[in-house]
Structure 1
Amino acid sequence: MSRVEIDYAAVFQALPGGVLLLTPELVIAEVNESLLQRAGRERGQLVGRYLFDAFPDNPDDPAATGIRNFRASLERVLATGRCDTMALQRYDIEPPGRPGVFEERYWSPVNAPVLGPDGRVRLIVHRVEEVTDIVRVGARHHGGDRERMEAELFGRAQELQEVNDRLRRSHDREREVVLALQEAMLPAPRLVGHHRAAVRYRPAVGALNVCGDWYDLAELSGDRMAVSVGDVVGHGLDAACVMGQLRSALSAATLVTEGPARALEVLGIYARSVEGAESTTAVQAVVDWPTHTLAYSSAGHLPPALLHPDGTVELLDGATDPPLGARPEHVARPEAGVAFEDGAVLVLYTDGLIERRHEDIDVGLGRLAAALTRHRGAGAEELADALLVELLPPGGATDDAALVVLLL
């Protein structure tokens, strides 16, 4: 079947519901034909104007709350990056050619974000269905008692809004619980032996897409150290619980096995008995300071980055295997090694640090390498902070991110 070429501009104009595209500053960027017809406006009267200048509140109605309600909804979308469905709204508008005169109108609005590659809200899709006729017909069926009809409609709309608010508060409470659990299970930032390391965890903004990531640092005999990061598929309390089990299992396996490949093999076998652990990714590197070498192995995870003293960045992708649970039978995992010089830096991270929607992963890896080169010579804590500032979107990422920086 041949691919159908889609004219998205034509689709936008043909949508049966009224739609405005708004910038984050609430300036009208585009409007479709359906909204123009319902509002009785021409495109040139709306595009480029601030939303509430183009559609002001009725100054003669002291109970008018349209602007306040719409602005609150739009601000929620900008703050969370999530769709916001509003309760039924009365929002009077000026008919064509009669400025200062307002007609009674009723609307059912939805505001949805359009996210850019950096995870920030680039546009808001403001979609409204006019329900004025429904309200009027309903009033007639109520014996012409429009006020009674309005009260019932707004009462039901308010009930729905209260349900949405309770769900939002419930999600917020769950998020707090999950983050507290995450903080309790991840080791606090500290010196590991006499070596300089920094760790960071940043939860995703908005939704409960948090708490599947972990990091771990373990001292080994002979002035060696194991450094690991991992990422559980899923989010919320379930992911946090799975994360805690896998992190503990890998930490234990590291102490009784030889090398990162064997430790990940043991973790993979254990993961088969943990519901929700399938497709988890993880990577471990074991640093040996006396020999100035490190060994590493990856279970489907993004490659660690090794910053050399001359500013070059090497991505350690020579021992990559499928995620945990991806194979039905046990297969030995690969392991690779690399030498390092004094002054090198090892960086392990999860995908929330570099991945962006609709962007090739190589672009994010390139950003990471460039940032490391710019900040070579920085201390562990300084470098960790700089990477978060430069690589995470200003409004926060849509996936959580874990980061380990180890000075070699």
Structure 2
Amino acid sequence: MRKPQIDYAAVFRALPGMVALLTPELVYVDVNDDFVRNTGRAREQLLGRYIFDVFPENPNDPAAAGMRETRESMLRAVATGERDTMAVLRYDIEDPQRPGHWREHFWSPVNAPVLGSDGKVTLVVHRVEEVTELIRARGGPGGDSRARVLEAELYTRARELQEVNERLRQAHAREREVALALQEALLPAPGPLGHHQAAVRYRPAVGTLNVCGDWYDLVDLPGDRFAVAVGDVVGHGLAAACVMGQLRSALSAATRVADGPARALEALGLYARSVAGAESTTAATAFIDWDDHTLTYSCAGHLPPVLLHPDGSVSFLDRATDPPLGASPEHGTRPEATTPFEEGATLVLYTDGLIERRTEDIDTGLARLTDALTRHRHAGPEELADALLAELLPPTGNADDTALVVIAL
């Protein structure tokens, strides 16, 4: 059966309900027939114009907020790449036949972003259902007081919902700022490892709540030795940032006195049992000995570190993996393994935000990481870290925190 040829422009024009397409700068690109019909504006009066030049706020109503609320909703859709559904709002429009006269209207808008091939927002779909008659509830002749009471009640509740949503967004934004500030204060600043090179990166998630569960740490040990660790606390927000700070500090201290990564994780596991919210935290740590050219590592439920060999081949350090912290009913010893490395190799530790995607199997993400490492095997730590973030994180931003450590061996 031959696939039918669809005129999508004609389909758009015929869509029921009012629909408009705008640029990310909120300039009209196209409108459907119902939009033209219900607004009383010709298509030529709309296309190429800024939406709020065509539909300004009612100057006769000092309390009017329809334009501001609509603009903020559209800009949120552009900034987040996610659909923004608004509460019912009053937004009067000027009668095109009687300049200076404004008609009362109630609308139920939805603003949805359209993403381009690069993951950036290219259009905003602005769909509007007019609910003016529903709000008015068709009061009878000479006796519409009941309808007006219903109108006022529904309108008030809609505005209250809008205001509650806005307060929640502001509260979440403040929590994100505090959590990020705490994260920045707790994570160590990158510095030289003697004459060795290293790069660290931390990328918070794009959402207001999905932030601050990941950490990294670098510890200078006696002799030409160094320890590196990454970890991931279950949960998000300020609470996760606080737990992260406690666990990172505890592991950093344990690393300085333990005789290996497994013993350090055992001490961290005991401590985690006394910290609310630390259950099921994952961590991976490796001790680097440049004199012996060996890596000794241990993982507590965490994704395995990666060893990039000078020839471009990749080895996952997965021979010493145990459950996450606090996942076992009884405390026990943890495994560790040792592997040699060649001069010119690179060690990479990371958290799951770098490779995991909700719609993919974990092996797909690991294969993507392997391919990127092989292609950039000649890059130094700084250049390699930047390349991994650029290629592996979604162009619209990562949905989870990402911590990354790259060390030249």
Find out whether 1:377 has 2:378 as its counterpart: yes
SS at match of 1:368: helix
Distance 1:132 1:275 in 2: 51
Question: Is the contact between residue 119 and residue 398 of structure 1 (CA under 8 Å) also seen in structure 2?
Answer: no
Structure 1 residue 119: Cα displacement = 8.7
Q: Secondary structure at the match of 2:388?
A: helix
Is contact 2:137–2:150 with CA below 8 Å preserved after alignment?
no
Preserved contact between residue 285 and residue 295 of structure 1 (Cα < 8 Å): yes
Deviations 1:256-295 (A, max 9, x none): 2121111111111111111100010100111111111101
Residues 1:159 and 2:160 are matched in the alignment = yes
State the AA in 1 paired with 2:212: C
CA deviation after TM superposition for structure 1 residue 214, in Å: 0.4
After superposition, the Cα gap between the structure-2 partners of 1:155 and 1:401, relative to the gap in structure 1 and judged at 3 Å, is same
* RMSD (CA atoms): 4.3
The residue correspondences of 1:214-363 to structure 2 (distance < 5 A) are 214-363=215-364
Give the TM-score normalised by structure 1: 0.77
CA distance in 2 between partners of 1:70 and 1:60 (Å): 11
Contact 2:300/2:324 (8 A) holds in 1? yes
Counterpart in the other structure of 1:192:
193
Task: Give ranges in structure 2 of 5+ residues lacking alignment.
Answer: 1-15, 39-45, 60-64, 94-101
Question: Partner of 1:318: helix, strand, or coil?
Answer: coil
Separation (CA, whole Å) in 2 of partners of 1:304 and 1:86: 45
Match of 1:86 in 2: 86
- Structure 1 distance, partners of 2:335, 2:283, is 13
Cα distance change of structure 1 residues 39 and 358 upon mapping to structure 2, 3 Å threshold: farther
| Offset of residue 351 of structure 1 | 0.8
CA contact (8 A) 1:348 1:405 kept: yes
State whether residues 81 and 396 of structure 2, in contact with CA within 8 Å, keep that contact through their aligned partners in structure 1: no
The residue number in structure 1 matching 2:42 is none
Q: Secondary structure of 1:398's match?
A: coil
Deviation (angstroms), 1:309? 0.7
Gap change, CA 1:299 and 1:138, over 3 Å in 2: farther
Contact 1:200 1:403 in 2 (8 A): yes
| Separation in 1, partners of 2:296, 2:122 | 42
Report what 1:63 is aligned to. 58
**Residues of 2 paired with 1:142 and 1:403: CA distance?**
71
Q: Which moved more, 1:63-72 or 1:232-241?
A: 63-72
Q: Are residues 241 and 66 of structure 1, via their aligned partners in 2, closer, same or farther at CA, if it must alter by over 3 Å?
A: closer
Task: Tell me by how many angstroms 1:163 deviates.
Answer: 2.3
Paired residue for 2:176?
A: 175
User: 221-230 or 124-133, which moves further after superposition?
Assistant: 124-133
SS of residue paired to 1:63: coil
Query: Structure 2 vs 1, CA of residues 202 and 92 (structure 1 numbering), >3 Å: closer, same or farther?
Result: same
1:60 & 1:405 partners in 2: Cα distance? 53
SS of residue in 2 equivalent to 1:396: coil
Match of 2:7 in 1: none
SS at match of 2:137: helix
Deviation readout 1:108-159 (Å, 9 max, x if unpaired): 345577999x997899897766633431217559943688876665444333
Identity of aligned residues (%): 67
1:74 aligns with 2:69: no
Could you tell me whether the CA contact under 8 Å between 1:107 and 1:128 is conserved in 2? yes
Decide whether aligned partners of structure 1 residues 285 and 40 sit closer, same or farther in structure 2, where only a CA change above 3 A counts. Answer: same
Distance, in Å, in 2 between the alignment partners of 1:358 and 1:272 is 33
- Mapped partners of 1:233, 1:380: distance in 2: 28
Q: What's the offset of the Cα at 1:360?
A: 1.3
Report the equivalent of 1:12. none
Residue 368 of structure 2 aligns to a residue whose secondary structure is helix
Bigger mean CA offset, 258-267 vs 176-185: 258-267
Contact 1:83 1:112 (8 Å CA) reproduced: yes
Q: Please say if residues 357 and 365 of structure 2, whose CA atoms lie closer than 8 Å, have aligned partners that are also in contact.
A: yes
- Output the CA distance in 1 between the equivalents of 2:170 and 2:47: 29
Q: Provide closer, same or farther for how the CA distance between residues 324 and 125 of structure 1 changes in structure 2, counting only shifts above 3 A.
A: farther
Maintained 8 Å contact 1:179/1:211: yes
Which one-letter code corresponds to 1:288 in the other structure? Answer: D
> Which ranges in structure 1 are unaligned for 5 or more consecutive residues?
1-16, 28-34, 42-50, 94-101
Conserved 8 A contact 2:136-2:151: no
Query: Is 144-153 or 176-185 further displaced after alignment?
Result: 144-153
Question: Aligned pair in 2 of structure 1 residues 104, 315: CA closer, same or farther (>3 Å)?
Answer: same
Aligned partner letter, 1:74? M
Q: Which residue identity is paired with 1:373?
A: T
* Cα distance in 2 between the residues matched to 1:59 and 1:79: 23
CA distance in 1 between partners of 2:149 and 2:250 (Å): 63
* Cα offset, 1:353, TM superposition: 1.3
- Number of aligned pairs? 378
Against the structure 1 CA distance between its residues 335 and 115, is the aligned structure 2 distance closer, same or farther, given a 3 Å change threshold?
Answer: farther
Cα distance, 1:38–1:287 mapped onto 2, change above 3 Å:
same
On the 8 A contact 2:284/2:297 being kept in 1, the answer is yes
1:397 aligns with 2:398: yes
1:36 offset after TM fit, Å?
11
SS of residue in 2 equivalent to 1:158: helix
What residue number does 2:144 align with? 144
- For normalisation by structure 2, the TM-score amounts to 0.77
In structure 1, the partner of 2:106 is 106
Report how far residue 248 of structure 1 moved: 1.0
Q: Please say if residues 233 and 243 of structure 2, whose CA atoms lie closer than 8 Å, have aligned partners that are also in contact.
A: yes
Equivalent residues of 2:90, 2:155 under 8 A apart: no
Match of 2:96 in 1: none
Q: 2:300 & 2:372 partners in 1: Cα distance?
A: 25
* 8 Å Cα contact 1:209/1:400 also seen in 2: yes
Q: Secondary structure at the match of 1:166?
A: helix
